[in-house]
Chain A
Amino acid sequence: MSTNAADTTAIAGAPNHGKRFLTIWIVASVIATPLVAIFLGDLLPPGDASAQATQQVFDNSWLLTISTPIFLFVLILLLYTVFSFRARTTELVDGPPMRGNARIQLLWMIITPAVVLFLAGFGTYELWQSGAGGGQGPNAAFLPAGYKQALDVQVIGQQWAFTYRYPTYGGVETPHLVLPARTLVRLHVTSLDAVHSFWAYQLGVKADANPGVDNVAYVQTKGPEAFDIHCAELCGLWHGYMFDTGHVVASAQFASWIKQQQSYFAPVMKYLPKYSTSYLPDPQRRAG
C-alpha cells in the first residue's frame, strides 16, 4: 500500500483539493475566530453576578473561540465535499482510486490529542482557581483566597423547595436566599430526602444536594443583583417548579433582612435541629 501524498492527487488535470480546502478554511477561520471572540464572548452565560460567573464566561469564550476553527473545518469540509465530489452525471462509473496518506494521518493523530489535552489542562487550571462555583464535596480541594473568613450558608433541598440556614446568625432558616454583596460565601449544599441539585444560574454555582452529604461550593458575590435558582436534578413531580429568585443585596440591607428573618422565624427556632453540616432531622422516616 502506497503512502505517498501525491498518489491521492495524481489524476491528471484535477485541481489540488487539499490546497484549495485549506485556503478556504484558513481564510474563514482568520475572519470568523476574532469576530466570535470579540462579539459573542461576553454574551455567553452565566453572566457576571459573581467572580465565579465571570470566570465561567471567560472559560466559555475561550472554549468557543478555540472551537470556532474546528467547527469551520468540519463544516467547510462537508460543504466542499458535497459540492466538489457530487455526481455530475447519472452514469455509473468508478470513482478515483483512494489510498492512505501518512502525513495527514500523522497530523490528525497529533493535532486531535493536542487539542483535547490542551482543553483538559485549561479546564483543570481554571477549576484550580476556586472550584469554579462547583460542588467540591465535604473537603473542598480548591480554596479561594480568604476562604477562612467566608460566610457559611447551608442550602437544604427537599421535595420540592430549597430552604437556607445561616449558622453565623443563630442558625436561622429561611425560605429564600439572600446574600450580602462583595462577600465570599461558602455554600453547604445538602438534602433531606431525594437527590437535588442547587443551581444559582447568574452566580455560576451548581452543586448536587445529596442526603447526609455536605457539598461545599464557594462563591464571591459582586454588586446587588437578583439571580435565578433552579433544581438541576430530576427529583419528582414538581422538579420543574422547584425554582426561586435569590438576591445579592448591600451589606446594610442584608443585616436588616436577616434580623427580620430571625424575628419572624423565632417561634420555630426551638424545633430546628442543632446546626450541622448535613440536615437530617429526626425521625428520618415518616409515613413510608
Chain B
Amino acid sequence: MTGRLGLKIAGVLAAVAVGGILIGFYIGGWVQPGITPYNPVAQTTTAKPTVNLTLQTVAAVGPTLSPNPDWVSYLVRDDGRWKRSTIFTLPAHALVHVTIYNFDGASGLRNPILGRPTGLVGPEIVDGKPITVMPPDEPSHTFAVPQLGIVVPVAPVGDDAKNQCGYAPCAMSMAHRTIEFTFRTGKPGKYRWQCFVPCAAGFVDGFGGPMQTIGYMDGFLNVV
C-alpha cells in the first residue's frame, strides 16, 4: 500500500516537473523565438570605440524572416544582409551611429512628449535635416532606451508615397525615410530598448503581438 502511494506521489511530482519545464520552454520560445544577437564590429582607431548600426523598420516582416509575416518589425543589417534581430552587442562607452530606414507609415504617439528627441550626441537627422521635435501624429515608431534616456521618434512614409514596401526586407528603391542619430552606450549592462508607438496593427490598442515580443519592436543592448 505504502509502495503504491509512494509511486503515485513520485508520478505526480514527475508530471508537475515535466509540465513546468515544458511551460518554461514554451514561454521562452514565445518571448524570444530563435533570435541571435547582432554583434557589429567596433572601430577602435580613435580613443573611444565607434560602432555603426543600420536598421530598417517595416510594416510587415514577411514570411522569409518570421513565422508571423504580418507583424511590424525592426531589422538589422548584418554583413550586407537584413536579419531579424533586436539584440545588439555593443562596446561600453562607445559612440553608436545609427541609421534607420523606415518603410512604414504613420501611427502616432500616445504621449506627445516622446516626439522630442532626447539622450543623443548631436541632433536627430531626418532625410538630411536636423529636427528638434516631431508632431505626435507623425511617428511610425520610436527607438527608445529609457535607461539611457534615449528617445528617437521615427518619421513616417506618407500614405500617398509611390512604390511602398509590402513584405520585408524592403529594397532601398522603395519609399522610405532615413533617420540618423548618435548616442553613447555608457557603462556595461543590459539595456532594454523598445518602440513606444502602439504600432501593432490588429492587436488591442496596437500594443500586443510584436510590441510584446522580443525580436520585433523590442530588444536589448548588451553593452560589454
A positions within 8 Å CB-CB of B = 156, 158-161, 163, 173, 175-176, 192-194, 236-238, 241, 244, 264-265, 267-268, 271-273, 279, 281, 283, 285-288
Contacts and interface: CB of A to CB of B under 8 A. Distances in A.
A246 B110 CA distance: 23
Contacts of A175: 113, 118, 146, 149, 151
Interface of B: 31, 107-108, 110-113, 115-116, 118, 132-133, 135-136, 144, 146-147, 149, 151, 192, 194, 196-208, 211-214, 218
A76 B77 CA distance: 66
Given A264-B116, A268-B112, 15 more contacts: A160-B194, A163-B111, A192-B110, A193-B198, A237-B211, A238-B218, A241-B147, A244-B146, A271-B136, A281-B112, A285-B206, A286-B198, A287-B197, A288-B202, A288-B205
A265 B205 contact: no
B113 A272 contact: yes
A65 B71 CA distance: 56
A265 B118 CA distance: 9
A241 B115 CA distance: 22
B113 A265 contact: yes
A267 B133 contact: yes
B113 A268 contact: yes
B200 A287 contact: yes
A160 B195 CA distance: 10
Given A237-B218, A287-B201, A158 B194 contact: no
Given A193-B207, A241-B147, A286 B110 contact: yes
Given A175-B118, A175-B146, A271-B136, A288 B192 contact: no
Nearest to A285: B205
Contact of A288 (B118, B147, B151, B204): B204
B204 A286 contact: no
